[in-house]
Amino acid sequence: MNAADGGGLVHVYGVVRYPADLRVDEAGLGPVREISHGDLAALCSDVESEPLGLRGELKAHADVLAQVCQQAAVIPMTFGTVLVDDDAVRRELLDRYAHHLNGELDRLATVLQFNLRLVPDEEALLRDVLAESADLRTLSRAVQGLPQGQGQAQRLRLGEAMANGFRDLAHRLGDAAVGALSTETVDLRVEEAGGPEGVTRAALLVQRSDTTSFLDAAGALAERLSGRLACRLVGPLPPFAFVAAPDAALASGVAG
């Protein structure tokens, strides 16, 4: 292998149980290989030098892990985890964190992550907001009847109420939608709920064996929400959002 002993660096995608019978066709940051130690293996590519962080590199990291997670449980490393050589991967990752990695591999052995993103249709939700409030309908009619450039205060009052109503409704719908899927998940994390544009994002942890029924449920939900919220589902992914941080004492005990 080329850079393995020539001072090249090693980028780590994630850690799997060893031996693992994996097929990785994704390009990655270079050819993907395993560095094993005991019953753990790190999936790695040699990289020339820092810095790392081009878009293609970020995507390569994600693509390799997405492919691997369909074949085996994998603990994804954060992007940019680079060690000096193979030996450092064994010593400073696989050996030092062996206990934590084994625990996480056990805990997350049978799950996959899906990322749900719900984007509201502004017009549809504004219509709903008006339908819910007689006061706002009245105000809206009043503002519509005003000549151009007049009634700025009323305009602002209407706009503020509608903006708040939009956000509130987007939030309610997002909550209800994520809640509706929660029977199909083992864990979930709402990462954004009714954000500035009413977007809701959640990471959902699903049993591998339940993937089909989860996707059915997500499809049915998307159909129900159509017209109001557009549903986007990315996955299956490794459990990026659910990996526990290692013990702080362990992590900070750098200098041996």
Restricted to residues 181-210, the positions that interact with another protein (CB under 8 A) are: 181-183, 185-191, 193, 195-197, 201
48 Cβ contact list (under 8 Å, min separation 6): 3, 8, 9
Q: Rounded to an integer, what distance in angstroms lies between the CA atom of residue 126 and that of residue 88?
A: 57
Pairing of strands 33-37, 111-120: unpaired
What is the sign, positive or negative, of the torsion defined by CA atoms of 217, 218, 223, 228? positive
**Distance of alpha carbon 31 from the chain centroid:** 25
Site for another protein in 130-159 (CB under 8 A): 130-134, 137, 140-141, 143-144, 155-156, 158-159
CB 81 within 8 A of CB 53: no
Q: Which is nearer to another protein, 19 or 78 (CB)?
A: 78
Q: How many positions of this chain bind another protein (CB under 8 A)?
A: 118
Given the complex with another protein, which of 4 and 222 has the nearer CB atom?
222
CA 12 to CA 14: how far, in whole Å?
Answer: 6
The sheet carrying 9-17 orders its strands as 9-17, 40-47, 33-37
Contacts of another protein in 164-183 (CB under 8 A):
164, 166-169, 171-173, 175-183
Binding residue for another protein, selected from 34, 39, 63, 210, defined by CB under 8 A:
63
- Interface pick for another protein out of 51, 109, 110, 150 (rule CB under 8 A): 51
Span 20-39, contacts to another protein by CB under 8 A: none
Q: Which residue has the tokens 């013990």?
A: 247
* 16, 41, 86, 104: residue in contact with another protein (rule CB under 8 A): 104
Backbone angles phi, psi at 13, to 5 degrees: -80, -50
Beta partners for residue 207, in sequence order: 111
Question: With respect to another protein, which residue has the nearer C-beta, 5 or 50?
Answer: 50
Q: Pick from 1, 31, 95, 251: which binds another protein (CB under 8 A)?
A: 251
Instruction: Identify residues 209-248 at the interface with another protein (CB under 8 A).
Output: 211-212, 215-216, 218-228, 230-234, 236-237, 240-241, 243, 245-246
User: What does the DSSP 8-state code read for residue 95?
Assistant: I
Cβ contact 105:216 at 8 Å: no
Residue closer to another protein, measured from CB, 11 or 37? 11
Q: How far is the CB of 7 from another protein (least distance, A)?
A: 12
Q: Which residues pair with 9 in a beta bridge?
A: 47
Q: How far is the CB of 241 from another protein (least distance, A)?
A: 6
Q: Of the two residues 30 and 76, which places its CB atom closer to another protein in the complex? A: 76
